[in-house]
Structure 1
Amino acid sequence: MFNSGHCTDCTTCGSCQQAPHVDTPTLFCMHCPPSEAPCLKACKQNAIEVLGGAITINGEKCNLCRDCVEVCPINVIKI
């Protein structure tokens, strides 16, 4: 079971995976249900998308504003 209090951004648990420290953020997260995902609701560019039940970031739409970073409950989005 995923415990956000123990998350070290290692990406080995499979709950979230991302490439850290990149110019265009990538994300594959299944922590929040898409209907409740704060990042999806916060993104004014509609760059946060749902792909097969997972939350992803469309790098072509993302303007690196960091609104999604500020609302992520498990701090997995790094820009």
Structure 2
Amino acid sequence: MYSGNCTNCTTCGSCQQSPNVDTPILFCMHCQPSDAPCLKACRENAIKVLGGAVTIDGDKCTKCRDCVEVCPIKVIKI
């Protein structure tokens, strides 16, 4: 299920995520924050940049899955 871009570094935490989680979890450094499709797709402004990583604010996320659809490496699980 891993993308060809995965190096098994465990930095983004996607390896530890499970599908259909109650609270979306993301700490991804794959995309440059200025180019992150998920950040641009989020209508609720629930996706933020924290220390150079793209993260999801579970309190703001409505689980619409727009970010899941645009993620180029499919690491967002909701």
Matched, 1:67 2:66: yes
Equivalent position of 1:20 in the other structure: 18
The higher relative CO (CA closer than 8 Å, separation ≥ 6) is in 2
Say what the alpha-carbon RMSD is for the aligned residues.
2.0
Q: How many residues were matched structurally?
A: 74
Asked if the contact 1:16/1:30 (under 8 Å) is kept, the reply is yes
Asked if the contact 2:68/2:76 (under 8 Å) is kept, the reply is yes
Deviations 1:38-76 (A, max 9, x none): 000000000000000000000000000000000000000
* 1:42 partner amino acid: A
Equivalent position of 1:42 in the other structure: 41
Percent identity between the aligned chains?
Answer: 70
Q: TM-score under structure 1 normalisation?
A: 0.83
Distance 1:46 1:6 in 2: 26
Structure 2, unpaired ranges of 5+: none
Q: TM-score under structure 2 normalisation?
A: 0.84
Asked if the contact 2:33/2:49 (under 8 Å) is kept, the reply is yes
Structure 1, unpaired ranges of 5+: none
